[in-house]
Amino acid sequence: MLGVGLAAVLFIPFVAVQYRRTGRLSLVQILVWVGFLIYGLALWTYTLLPLPSPEAIRCVSAQTTPFQFVDDILSYPVGSLGAIARNPAVMQFVLNVALFVPLGFFLRMVWRRGIVVTTAAGLAISFLIECTQYTGVWGIYSCGYRLFDVDDLIANTAGALAGGVLSLALRPILARRDAAYEPPTARPVTFWRRMLGMLCDALAYWLVGTVAGVAVNGFLLFVLGRDLDGGSRLADIAFTAVPLVLFGLITLITGRTIGDAAIAIRWQGGARPAVVRNLLRYLGGVGGWQLVMAFAPGFDALFVLAVVIALIATPGRGGLPGLVSGARPVDSRAEPARTDKPSGLTPDSRPAHPAQPFKPEA
């Protein structure tokens, strides 16, 4: 749950990075990114949580003898495969190895790192975890209540190494994927690309509005000491007004919403002056949606439906913002439209040859 929540918070920066790196966003990229966040938080919870009450902890010493796990394994029956499979020391070592195997895959898939970096990262992360356990979560507790075990360092590093080695099987897949990606040049503005931009706008509105509402309630509760029953209305106003004004100013100044910037598009042409075009573009998109939710609750779904229908119906994928502003969306890397053509001349009506210089008669 925390991993999915963190993925939502970081989704807009992730979209922006992917569109500038590869010019697109695929379902595989999203799944790998969300999986990496969930794995990272799972690694944290498995090794450090739950945090006990300080009165309930029992101090433990460190295990600093390398390969002590071998003696631990031999202290249990090992006469058959079944006995080995049921051996708790074997299971502990194997699971410590398996815990870090995904690290090799994710470092390869997300950051494209090799075996050496993967192994070093596994060692560093495992060492950080063991030190956190040894120091009682860096002094929060009076002593270490979880065992610092040098064999865990060995097992975790071996798991990261194994993940790096197994990731070599992904090289053909990654090579084909890289070959399919074109350099980050101008790409068409598609329906799904615009839908992704609108999703980023809605997510940004929700995140900023939530932060503003929580900040208002926190100010009323902890600074002014007021009862939150009377402050909920102020929090609702902040939830709507803060993102409406903030994103409106951003759109008026830059000509793009947060979602437009994330999917690397800009708007060209349309009404003049530019501030009028930007205002109409904002009101035809996320700004209009926010106003409908604020002043006509219940009709926001109809507004979204109208936006989607307009997005399907307009050939240039300008949607409702393009219809009301007269502008059209283009890739940010596209060449800007020329506005310096001589009046009355088109490219087809220009002289085929330059005029000859004037020569006075003798």
Tens of pLDDT, residues 288-334: 999 999 899 889 999 999 999 999 999 889 999 999 999 999 998 87
> Six-digit token pair at 208?
């900023």
Q: Residue 268 in contact with residue 337, Cβ under 8 Å?
A: yes
Give the orientation angle of helix 11-21 with respect to helix 191-218, to 10 degrees. 150
**Looking at the domain assignment, is residue 185 inside a domain?**
no
Domain boundary among 160, 180, 200: 180
**Looking at the domain assignment, is residue 357 inside a domain?**
no
Q: Residue 39 in contact with residue 4, Cβ under 8 Å?
A: no
Distance CA 254, CA 81 (A): 67
> Six-digit token pair at 39?
């794995």
pLDDT at 193: 94
> Six-digit token pair at 2?
């925390």
Closest by Cα among 66, 38, 168 to 116: 168
Same domain? For 250 and 147 the reply is no
Same domain? For 210 and 326 the reply is yes
Q: Residue 18 in contact with residue 12, Cβ under 8 Å?
A: no
**Looking at the domain assignment, is residue 244 inside a domain?**
yes
**Looking at the domain assignment, is residue 284 inside a domain?**
yes
Mean pLDDT of the chain: 85
Same domain? For 17 and 149 the reply is yes
Distance CA 97, CA 160 (A): 8
Q: What whole-number percentage of the chain has pLDDT above 90?
A: 48
Cα separations (Å) of 226 from 82, 154, 221, 231? 65, 55, 5, 8
Residue 210 structural domain: 191-331
Domain boundary among 146, 180, 214: 180
**Looking at the domain assignment, is residue 349 inside a domain?**
no
**Exposed / middle / buried, residue 28 (Cβ in 10 Å: 0-12, 13-18, 19+):** exposed
pLDDT at 359 over 70: no
Same domain? For 32 and 157 the reply is yes
> Six-digit token pair at 163?
């993940």
Same domain? For 176 and 197 the reply is no
Tens digit of each residue's pLDDT (9 = 90 or more) over 97-133: 999 999 988 887 777 778 899 999 999 999 999 999 8
pLDDT at 60 over 50: yes
Same domain? For 99 and 213 the reply is no
pLDDT at 177: 64
Q: Residue 238 in contact with residue 214, Cβ under 8 Å?
A: no
pLDDT at 361: 45
Q: Residue 269 in contact with residue 318, Cβ under 8 Å?
A: no
Mean pLDDT of 43-65: 87
Which range has the top average pLDDT, 49-63, 130-144, 172-186, 191-205? Answer: 191-205
* Candidate from 38-47, 112-121, 178-187, 265-274 with smallest mean pLDDT: 178-187
Number of domains within the chain: 2
**Looking at the domain assignment, is residue 342 inside a domain?**
no
Same domain? For 170 and 237 the reply is no
Distance CA 24, CA 18 (A): 6
pLDDT at 166: 86
* Candidate from 100-114, 177-191, 208-222, 256-270 with smallest mean pLDDT: 177-191
Same domain? For 35 and 160 the reply is yes
Same domain? For 253 and 167 the reply is no
Distance CA 128, CA 47 (A): 11
Same domain? For 288 and 198 the reply is yes
